[in-house]
Amino acid sequence: MMTDRPKPQSRRWPALALAALLGATAAGALTPAYAFSAQPGGYADLVHRVAPAVVNIEVTRKAEAVDFDPAQMPPGFEDFARRFGMPFPGMPNGPEGDAPQMQGLGTGFIISASGNIVTNNHVVEGADEVTVKFADGTRLAAKVVGTDPATDLALIRVETDKDLPYVEWGDSSALRVGQDVVAIGNPFGLGNTVTAGIVSALGRDIQSGPFDNYIQTDAAINRGNSGGPLFDAQGNVVGINTAIFSPTGGSVGIGFAVPSESAKVVIADLTDDGKVERGWLGVSIQPVTEDIAAAIGIDAAKGALIAEVSADTPAAKAGLKRGDIVTAVNGTAVEAPRDLTRLIATAQPGSEVGLTVLRKGAPTDLSVVLGTRSEQPA
């Protein structure tokens, strides 16, 4: 089995098995597309309402140069290549000619009437040109405002003289396992496709990055759904479809979406200056094992154990010490080290956060003014 991100379609990209990610939908009025409750008869009204805000993203980039030694080719191969139109040194699109273009397709969704669009980083990564196709067939050139590979999110923008339909962020922190969700995307380039399912699990860590906190859903998400929205039953975006777990590359009912509570912080940061600034403590952390829990006399092996506090860091200035166990940040429970990493990273540098700490088995509260994660030594 393998964990993979649904990838944009590649029309001419060699050695890549990529699938389409189209978001073109039925035409609709240019009004905000949100807050529409699903009816007992299905999700038709909800989809009609939100679909105009889902767009198709077309990307183009040049292929990477490939080292090629014509002396290694058998005699007569050059004539063979020319006869059958194969790239060859000195020929157009050959190793010594212009690099061939690679084209791909992806999905995005509009979050403002002025033209801000959210998608996955891997949809637009390395693109020389980005074009957005809207529900009415209009195509506009888009600018990549900023990307965040750590969360696989990207913000692109189009310039337009009319208001665009858009969707609103939902509250992923309020999701419950078993709750209905709806995904919109274009799996395998088949065309606009709506799938529905439930929230299968929350807080999934699939080892794709330092801030994994995925929503797992059984709504069919295939290679090609990347960047598409995951809606709750009110038509609000609670996730961005990003990854699948599959032994075949197709949906087996295990898909993953970046929660809106994480995404909207990243996207808001990208909107300002195209960069993401993350909070920083200045500590090394490790899990609380059963043996450690027993040694210090606590019931559950939960929290993040401070293994080291670097000198002259926010943590040191706040009085955090080696051996402390952080159990909450601003009242949000820390079950494991990755929770602390994520909660601190999503806080703004310069902001003050409250830490609940177990020190020698006794609870204590500390306040920390966070630094900027980018200031850390490499």
At residue 246's C-alpha, the angle toward residues 245 and 252, to 5°, is: 95
Residue 297 pLDDT: 85
Higher-pLDDT residue of 100 and 346 is 346
Torsion over CA: 184, 185, 190, 191 (sign): positive
Higher-pLDDT residue of 62 and 6 is 62
Query: Do 85 and 159 form a contact (C-beta atoms < 8 A)?
Result: no
Provide the 10 A C-beta neighbour count for residue 236.
19
Q: pLDDT, tens digit, for every residue of 119-156? A: 999 999 999 999 998 988 899 999 999 999 999 999 99
All CATH 2.30.42.10 domain ranges in the chain, comma separated: 279-375
CA distance 272 to 259: 21
Residue 218 pLDDT: 97
DSSP assignment of 274-303: S----EE--EEEEE--HHHHHHHT-SS--S
The residues with which 306 forms a beta bridge, in sequence order, are: 285
Torsion over CA: 269, 273, 274, 280 (sign): negative
Mean pLDDT of 246-258: 90
Higher-pLDDT residue of 62 and 342 is 342
All CATH 2.40.10.120 domain ranges in the chain, comma separated: 1-64+99-276
Any residues with CB less than 8 A from the CB of 134 and at least 6 apart, and which? Answer: 24, 55, 56, 140, 164
Q: How far is CA 99 from the centre of its chain?
A: 30
% of the chain beyond a pLDDT of 70? 77
Residue 163 pLDDT: 95
Q: What is the mean pLDDT of the chain?
A: 83
Q: pLDDT, tens digit, for every residue of 14-27? A: 322 333 333 333 33
- The model's confidence at residue 5, banded by pLDDT at 50, 70 and 90, is low
CA distance 92 to 124: 26
Q: pLDDT, tens digit, for every residue of 286-331? A: 999 999 988 888 888 999 999 999 999 999 999 999 999 999 999 9
The pTM (predicted TM-score) of the whole model is 0.76
Residue 322 pLDDT: 95
The residues with which 133 forms a beta bridge, in sequence order, are: 56, 139
CATH tag for 279-375 (out of 2.60.120.260, 2.30.42.10, 1.10.357.10, 2.40.70.10): 2.30.42.10
Provide the 10 A C-beta neighbour count for residue 311.
7
Of 258, 244, 243, 55, the residue nearest 148 (C-alpha): 258
Does CATH place domain 1-64+99-276 in 2.170.270.10? no
Lowest mean pLDDT: which of 113-117, 132-136, 177-181, 308-312?
A: 132-136
Mean pLDDT of 364-372: 95
Task: Indicate which residues carry an active-site annotation.
Answer: 122, 152, 226
